[in-house]
């Protein structure tokens, strides 16, 4: 194996580290998903992870200690590229379009050109660290051109692509001025994984509709390369899970349980309603606040019966639509609290900052009702985390039909988040759900989540990729 290369390479827009100005060093990203993935990938270690630091400018050559199992290769983005490729093409074109166009996507050629350039840079970086015959796993919507670029440059490597967000219906995707390049870019992979059956069907239909592939069998497409040679692409659903053991352990810890008690005392009401999201317009944060505000105005709840806690983690604050959303949500919080708050008791407790892992689990334990109401979401792991934390089988989950998680969690109170009256009924039902009913549902949901955790997801995807027939590909 050439020096400085690996047999397994991960490519994602973000590296799994974050700069800590306080500690003056690179620290593993919070979230746990990455560390869970790496645990599952121990058999293929040492591996390389190629990605961006999240900060404009030259990427550092070194990221500090703890890199024996995994080497990090930083891809540099200029200030202009963070605007054009990241905030623009990735997060103001593809993100809203793929989420059912819940905000109007913008199409700009300068954004597109930058997206192509950055994908090329990733291709060079990935190729430089991939050993002959390596397996490369590419993640998410920022890098949809990379599979084809890499196939052309490195026909010896096996390429997997996983889309963490939804793949839209063909007629929505067809709006993209760059649709042909993107679908052909994706089809450079040997395996394309998506979160839901719906995304899988959308992707297959789109590829066929745009003439980029022909159907072979249910989950298999046939694609022609530049030389007109045929190869096969598997398109399959791999529903992502959470690190169940990590959440179970935290939920059982005495410190977390005590903190949950404290939170309940501080909120000081009978029923605590909770939302935990990135501050993103796809998450339906404003809708649930409106529904809750109306329920209070219409006196569905007695004074002091219910309060809502909303954690809204700051996100993509350079993108206009996120700036507008923040203003809107914060106005709503002010409005609902102005009308329904009392001295020492708020109707909505709102946090625009990320919270430590243990604090989030304590909130899950403190919450009688979890509100997960996205307008569209690839999976939504918060729903799975809440269910896993509720080990005494109490609590109720209000869950949007338009999340990937709803394919699994059929025992949640499923809602159409566009229907405010329906959402109000669902919140009311969750608050009043009889204990025995809630307990039976929560138990089934907990079992469903633990039956398919993040380790199963990694294993299933990698096994599928490894099993693809290199000869015919
Ligand atoms: C979603 C995407 C991820 C992304 C994350 C945070 O979950 O699927 O690829 O990393 O949001 O967004 P950010 O723009 O901060 O990376």
Confidence band of 449 (pLDDT split at 50, 70, 90): very high
Q: How far is CA 400 from the centre of its chain?
A: 15
Sign of the dihedral through C-alpha 174, 178, 183, 184: positive
Could you tell me the pLDDT band of residue 471, with boundaries at 50, 70 and 90? Answer: very low
Euclidean distance between CA atoms 439 and 433, whole angstroms: 10
Q: Calculate how far, in angstroms, residue 374's C-alpha sits from the geometric centre of ligand 1.
A: 15
Which residue has a Cα nearest atom 7 of ligand 1?
164
14 lines ligand 1 (CB under 6 A): yes
Q: Which of 165, 167, 193, 194 to mutate to test the pocket of ligand 1 (most atoms within 8 A of CB)?
A: 165
Q: What is the pLDDT of residue 69?
A: 77
Task: Give the side-chain half-sphere CA count within 13 A for 432.
Answer: 9
Question: How does pLDDT run across 174-184, given as a tens digit for each residue?
Answer: 999 999 999 99
Would you state the pLDDT for residue 45? 79
Range in 39-48, 104-113, 231-240 the model is least confident about: 39-48
Asked whether the beta carbons of 363 and 378 are under 8 A apart, the reply is no
Centre of ligand 1 to C-alpha 13, Å, is: 9
Question: Using CB atoms within 10 A of its CB, is residue 455 exposed (0-12), middle (13-18) or buried (19+)?
Answer: middle
Tell me the backbone φ, ψ of residue 102, rounded to 5 degrees.
-65, -15
128 lines ligand 1 (CB under 6 A): no
pLDDT tens by residue, 393-440: 999 999 999 999 999 999 999 999 999 999 999 999 999 999 999 999
Q: Write the pLDDT tens digit of every residue in 346-357.
A: 999 999 999 999
Q: If one looks up domain 244-451 in CATH, what number appears?
A: 3.40.50.2000
Nearest CA to ligand 1 atom 12: 315
Establish whether residue 48 lines the binding site of ligand 1, counting it when its CB lies within 6 angstroms of any ligand atom: no
Q: Whose CA is nearest to atom 9 of ligand 1?
A: 140
Inter-CA distances, 229 with 203, 207, 455, Å: 22, 17, 35
- Is the distance from CB of 204 to CB of 236 less than 8 angstroms? no
Residue 246 in contact with ligand 1 by CB distance below 6 A = no
Sheet holding 6-14, edge to edge: 70-74, 47-52, 6-14, 130-139, 158-162, 191-194, 230-237, 220-224, 214-217
Please tell me the distance from the alpha carbon of residue 15 to that of residue 5, in angstroms, as a whole number.
17
C-alpha triplet 105, 74, 321: angle, nearest 5°: 20
Q: Which atom of ligand 1 is nearest to the CA of 91?
A: 14
pTM (predicted TM-score): 0.97
Give residue limits of the domains in the chain: 6-240+455-467, 244-451
Tell me, in angstroms, the distance from the centre of ligand 1 to residue 271's CA. 32
* Domain 6-240+455-467 shares a fold with domain 244-451: yes
Ligand 1 centre and the CA of 15: distance in Å?
11
Could you tell which of 164, 194, 404, 405 is best to mutate to test the pocket of ligand 1, judged by most ligand atoms within 8 Å of the CB?
Answer: 164
Separation in Å, CA 23 to CA 20, 31, 357, 462: 5, 19, 19, 35
The C-alpha atoms of residue 317 and residue 267 are separated, in whole angstroms, by: 29
Quote the pLDDT of residue 43: 81
**Is pLDDT at 109 greater than 60 in this prediction?**
yes
Encoded tokens for 96: 């809203």
Q: Find where tokens 């809602």 sit.
A: 415
d(CA 135, CA 265): 51
The whole-number pLDDT of residue 217 equals 85
CA angle, residues 379, 384, 388, in degrees to nearest 5 = 165
CA of 5 to the centre of ligand 1 (A): 27
144-199 pLDDT per residue, tens: 999 999 999 999 999 999 999 999 999 999 999 999 999 999 999 999 999 999 99
CATH code matching the domain that covers 6-240+455-467, chosen among 3.40.50.10860, 3.40.1350.10, 3.40.1440.60, 3.40.50.2000: 3.40.50.2000
């Amino acid at each position: 194996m050439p020096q400085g290369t690996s047999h397994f390479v991960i490519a994602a827009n973000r590296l799994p580290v974050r700069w800590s100005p306080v500690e003056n060093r690179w620290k593993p990203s919070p979230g746990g998903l990455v560390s869970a993935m790496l645990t599952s990938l121990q058999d293929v270690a040492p591996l390389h992870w190629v990605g961006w630091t999240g900060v404009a400018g030259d990427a550092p050559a070194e990221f500090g200690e703890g890199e024996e199992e995994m080497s990090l290769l930083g891809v540099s983005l200029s200030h202009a590229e963070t605007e054009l490729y990241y905030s623009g093409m990735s997060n103001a074109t593809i993100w809203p379009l793929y989420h059912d166009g819940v905000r109007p996507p913008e199409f700009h050629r300068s954004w597109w050109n930058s997206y192509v350039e950055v994908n090329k840079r990733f291709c060079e970086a990935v190729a430089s660290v991939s050993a002959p015959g390596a397996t490369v796993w590419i993640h998410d919507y920022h890098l949809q051109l990379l599979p084809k670029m890499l196939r052309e440059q490195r026909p010896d490597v096996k390429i997997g692509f996983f889309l963490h967000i939804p793949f839209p219906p063909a007629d929505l995707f067809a709006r993209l001025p760059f649709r042909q390049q993107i679908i052909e870019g994706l089809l450079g992979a040997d395996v394309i994984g998506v979160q839901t059956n719906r995304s899988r069907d959308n992707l297959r239909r789109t590829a066929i509709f745009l003439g980029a592939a022909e159907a072979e069998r249910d989950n298999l497409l046939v694609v022609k390369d530049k030389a007109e040679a045929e190869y096969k692409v598997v398109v399959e659903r791999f529903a992502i899970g959470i690190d169940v053991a990590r959440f179970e352990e935290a939920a059982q810890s005495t410190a977390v349980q005590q903190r949950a008690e404290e939170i309940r005392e501080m909120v000081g009401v009978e029923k605590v309603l909770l939302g935990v999201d990135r501050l993103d317009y796809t998450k339906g944060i404003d809708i649930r606040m409106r529904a809750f505000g109306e329920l209070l105005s219409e006196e569905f709840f007695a004074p002091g019966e219910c309060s809502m806690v909303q954690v809204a983690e700051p996100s993509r604050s350079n993108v206009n639509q996120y700036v507008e959303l923040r203003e809107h949500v914060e106005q709503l919080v002010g409005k609902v609290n102005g009308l329904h708050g009392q001295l020492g008791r708020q109707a909505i407790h709102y946090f625009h900052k990320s919270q430590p892992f243990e604090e989030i689990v304590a909130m899950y334990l403190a919450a009688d009702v979890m509100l997960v109401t996205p307008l569209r979401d690839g999976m939504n792991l918060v729903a799975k985390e809440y269910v896993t934390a509720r080990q005494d089988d109490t609590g109720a989950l209000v869950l949007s039909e338009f999340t990937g998680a709803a394919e699994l969690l059929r025992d949640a109170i499923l809602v159409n988040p566009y229907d405010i009256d329906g959402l109000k009924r669902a919140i009311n039902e969750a608050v009043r759900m009889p204990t025995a009913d809630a307990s039976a549902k929560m138990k089934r949901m907990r079992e469903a989540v633990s039956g398919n955790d993040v380790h199963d997801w990694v294993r299933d995807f990698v096994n599928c990729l490894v099993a693809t027939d290199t000869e015919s590909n």
